[in-house]
Structure 1
Amino acid sequence: MMQNYYKDHPELGGYQYLALRAPNNSWNGFYDVYVYPLIENLIRQFALFGDVDVNKVFIMGYSHGGYGAFAIGPKIPYRFAAIHASAAAPTDGETTAKTLRNTRFSFMIGGKDTMYGRADRCQAFDASVKQLRGTRDDIYPVTLQWIANHGHSGLPDRDKITEMYSAVRNPVPHELTWAMTDDVVKSFFWLQSSLPKKGMEIQASCQDNRITLQGSALEGTNIYLDERLIDFRRPVVIQSGGKQQSYKLKPSLRTLCQSLQERGDPELAFTAMLEYPPSPNAKKNRGETF
C-alpha cells in the first residue's frame, strides 16, 4: 500500500522513495533495540550507493508506520531533515520530545482517533513541546495537525512529500538536548556516549568556543568538533558543574577518518574530539595533523 500512498512529485528534481515494511511481525515492530542501528545502516548504504544527499533524508508513516516515525525519528533525529507521523502516537518511555530541539517534526491525528489513547497522547505530546519551547521561536520546530471530527483512516496527508521536501538537516546545531531512551543509540549530532542509559540526559551548547555541559550522563562523553562549531585558532573552554577547563585543539585527519567510518556520514564526521571527563593530560595540545 505505502509504495504508492504518497503523491509523487518528480518535478522536485528527483528523490529515492523507499517503502519499508515493519522489521518484524510483532505488534511492537519498531520498538526493538536492533531497529535503530538497522535504520542508520540503511541510510548509510543509500548515502554510499544510492546517490542520496545525507542532509535530505526524511521519514514518514501512517498508522503502524506512524508509530515507526514516532519511535525512530526522536531516537536518531540527527539523521533526518524532517519527520512526519500520521494516525499514530508517541509511546511512553520510547518517544521523547526533548530530542527534537533542532529537527522538524509534524504529526497528524484525527480528533476521533481515540483507540489506544492516540488523540490524547498526541495532545499531551504537543503540550510537552510547547513547554520545552517556552517563549523561544527558534527551537522545537514541532507541529501538531489536529483534524477535528476525523477518525483513524483517510487523513489528508498524501501530499506530505512536497510539504517536507524543502527541509534541510542541520548536522551541527549549537544547542543539543539528548534525552536517552535506550542503551543502544550512542551518538547524537556532535556528542557521543560510551555509556548510554535509558533515563539519562545531556544538555550541551557550543557558543563562541565555549562548550557548556549539563546533565546526568556526562561520564564517558565524547565531544566532536570542527570549524563549523569552533575556531581552531583560539582555545576551547569546557564548562560543567561550576568548573571550566581550556584546551588548544588541532584538526586531526585520523579523527576525521575514524568518525567518518563510525557514522558513515560526511556531515557527521569531525576533525577533533574531546573526552569528558578529561584525562589527566587533556590540557596538552589535542589532535594530530596526520
Structure 2
Amino acid sequence: MPLRLAAPCVLLLIGSTPLLAQPDASESAGAVEALRAALDENRGMPADLAGEPFARVPLTREDAATARGLIWQAHEARIRRDRAGELEARVIEDGDLTMPFSYSTFGEEPEGGRGLYISMHGGGNAPARVNDRQWENQKRLYEVGEGIYLAPRAPTNTWNLWHEPHIDRMFGRLIETLIVLEGVDPDRVYLLGYSAGGDGVYQLAPRMADRWAAAAMMAGHPNGVSLRSLRNVPFALQVGGDDSAYDRNTVGREYGDRLDALREEDPGGYEHLVKIYEGKGHWMDREDAVALPWMAGFTRDPIPSKVVWEQVGTPHGRSYWLAVPPEDARLGSLVVATRGGQTIEVAEAEGVSTLLVRLDDRMVDLDRPVRVEHRGEALYEGIAPRTIGTLLETLVGRGDPGLLFDAEVSVALPDAG
C-alpha cells in the first residue's frame, strides 16, 4: 500500500494496517513560518519550493488553512506581476504560437466573481483571412447577461483549430490569469463554439472537464470522441437538421442519443440539452443562443462525489481530485472513482498503474483515517497528511483555488492494462 509520506511522522500499528499519528503542532507551526519566510525572501513562488524540507512536514488543520492562504496570496502577486502585460496586449503565447483574444464584460459583478464564457470561432483549414473573418464574427455572435464574453483567435489555420495540444495549455493559462486579474469565479467558466469551434467543444469539454461549469457545442462534429468524462459537465448540443456536411446532423443525433444513454445509466450526472433544428442548415439563425442562459444556470463542483476520467485527444495529468504520474498520463486510460464519508472507491481502472488521490477537509476529515479501495480491497487505509508540498503541487499549472488540495495518497492499481 504505497503512500507519499510527509516527514517526519509516527506510525501506529493496528493489526496489519498502518495509521499515521496526528501532526506535531510545533513542527506544523514551524513549517508554516518557514513557508512564510521563503515566500517573503523570494517575493513569489519558486518552482522548486515544494522540494523544501518544510514542505513535507504534516500540518494541522489550522496551519494548513494558513498555508493555503499564504500560497494563494503569493500566487496572486506573481500573476499580477507577470501576466498584466499579456492581458493588456490581449495575446497568449505558447512557444512560437500566439493566440490573440478579445473580450467584453456584461452586467454587474456578483459577489463571488464574474462568469467567463470562452467562445471559439469556426473556419479551419483555410487561408488566415478566412479564419480572421470567422473570429470577427464570433466576437459579436453572442451576448451574456453577466460575465466576460471572450473570443480567442485560433493560433493556427488547420482543420483542428481548437483541439491541438497547445489549446489546452493556452486556455489553462488564460483562465488562471483571468481568475486573478479580472475577478473570474473559477466555478463559473463556460466553453462554447460554432462549426470548427463546435468541433473544439466536443474535444476540449471532456479532456478539460474539471475546468468547466458547462459547455455548449454548436454545429460541430465530434470526430469520434468519447463523452464519458462529461459526467460533471452539463453539455448542450445543437445542430441544424439539414446540416449534412460531414454528416453533422446525423452524428449530432447519434451523440444526443449517447448523452441520453449516459444519463439513464448514471442519473446523477450527464446533464444535457440537445436541440436539432429541423429545416435549418449549418446556420441556426441564432436560435442556438438559448444555450448561454442554460449554461449560466450551472456552477462547477470542483470536488464531485463521482469522477469519470477517460483520457481523450490530449492526455492530462489530473482531473478534479484524481491525478496520475506523468508517465501514466496516456490516451485511452480510464478511472472511475467515487467518494463518500472517509472512503474513496476506485470502481474502474484501465491503463493506469499508479493513481494519486488528492484530498482536503471539504471532502473528508483528514484528522481521521481515510480508506482507498478497489474491488473491495483496501489499497490504502490511514491518515493522509496535509502538507505544503501538496498545496504547492496542486496549484502549479492550474492556479485554481477550487482544485488546491492539502493531502495526496498514492496507490498502486492491480492488473492495470
Partner of 2:223: 91
Partner of 1:257: 392
Q: 2:257 aligned with 1:130, yes or no?
A: no
Q: Distance in 2 between matches of 1:256 and 1:76?
A: 21
Could you tell me the TM-score, scaled by structure 1's length?
0.88
Which whole-Å deviations, capped at 9, do the CAs of 1:146-178 have from their partners, x for residues lacking one?
111211113412354333222111100010111
C-alpha displacement of 1:29: 1.1
Structure-2 change in CA distance of 1:207 and 1:227 (3 Å) = same
Q: Distance in 1 between matches of 2:205 and 2:265?
A: 24
Q: 2:367 aligned with 1:236, yes or no?
A: no
Q: How many residues align?
A: 272
For residue 23 of structure 1, the aligned residue among 136, 144, 155 is 155
**Within 5 Å, which residues of 2 pair with 1:28-47?**
28-47=160-179
Q: Distance in 1 between matches of 2:228 and 2:265?
A: 16
Q: Distance in 1 between matches of 2:138 and 2:165?
A: 24
For residue 217 of structure 1, the aligned residue among 351, 364, 373 is 351
Partner of 1:207: 340
Consecutive unaligned residues in structure 2, runs of 5 or more: 1-136
Residue identity (%): 26
Do the aligned partners of 2:355 and 2:412 also contact (CA within 8 Å) in 1?
yes
Letter in structure 2 aligned against 1:239: E
Q: Distance in 2 between matches of 1:247 and 1:228?
A: 18
Q: 2:322 aligned with 1:191, yes or no?
A: yes
Partner of 2:13: none
The farther-off stretch of 225-234 and 133-142 is: 133-142
Partner of 2:84: none
- SS of 2:138's partner is coil
Q: Distance in 1 between matches of 2:144 and 2:172?
A: 25
Q: 2:137 aligned with 1:7, yes or no?
A: no
Q: Distance in 2 between matches of 1:150 and 1:182?
A: 30
C-alpha displacement of 1:142: 1.9
C-alpha displacement of 1:52: 0.9
Q: Distance in 2 between matches of 1:37 and 1:55?
A: 19
Q: Distance in 1 between matches of 2:384 and 2:244?
A: 54
C-alpha displacement of 1:241: 4.1
Which whole-Å deviations, capped at 9, do the CAs of 1:173-227 have from their partners, x for residues lacking one?
0101111114531111111112111111111111111111121133132110111
Q: Distance in 2 between matches of 1:227 and 1:103?
A: 23
Q: Distance in 2 between matches of 1:159 and 1:132?
A: 23
Root-mean-square deviation (Å): 1.8
Consecutive unaligned residues in structure 1, runs of 5 or more: 279-290
**Within 5 Å, which residues of 2 pair with 1:144-183?**
144-155=274-285, 156-182=287-313
Specify which structure has the bigger relative contact order, considering alpha-carbon pairs within 8 angstroms and separated by 6 or more residues: 2
Q: 2:276 aligned with 1:140, yes or no?
A: no
Q: Distance in 2 between matches of 1:31 and 1:86?
A: 15
Q: Distance in 2 between matches of 1:123 and 1:69?
A: 16
Partner of 2:213: 81
Letter in structure 1 aligned against 2:143: K
Letter in structure 2 aligned against 1:34: H
Could you tell me the TM-score, scaled by structure 2's length?
0.62
Do the aligned partners of 1:67 and 1:90 also contact (CA within 8 Å) in 2?
yes
The farther-off stretch of 189-198 and 121-130 is: 121-130
Structure number with higher helix proportion: 2
Structure-2 change in CA distance of 1:145 and 1:65 (3 Å) = same
Q: Distance in 2 between matches of 1:23 and 1:167?
A: 29
Which has the larger Rg?
2
- SS of 2:232's partner is coil
Which whole-Å deviations, capped at 9, do the CAs of 1:51-81 have from their partners, x for residues lacking one?
1111111111111111121121111011011
C-alpha displacement of 1:140: 0.6
The farther-off stretch of 139-148 and 128-137 is: 128-137
Do the aligned partners of 2:333 and 2:352 also contact (CA within 8 Å) in 1?
no
Structure-2 change in CA distance of 1:27 and 1:262 (3 Å) = closer
Do the aligned partners of 2:305 and 2:338 also contact (CA within 8 Å) in 1?
yes
Q: Distance in 2 between matches of 1:104 and 1:144?
A: 11
Q: Distance in 2 between matches of 1:188 and 1:126?
A: 24
C-alpha displacement of 1:228: 1.6
Structure-2 change in CA distance of 1:166 and 1:183 (3 Å) = closer
Q: Distance in 1 between matches of 2:284 and 2:275?
A: 14
Do the aligned partners of 1:182 and 1:196 also contact (CA within 8 Å) in 2?
no
Q: Distance in 1 between matches of 2:234 and 2:276?
A: 17
- SS of 1:138's partner is coil
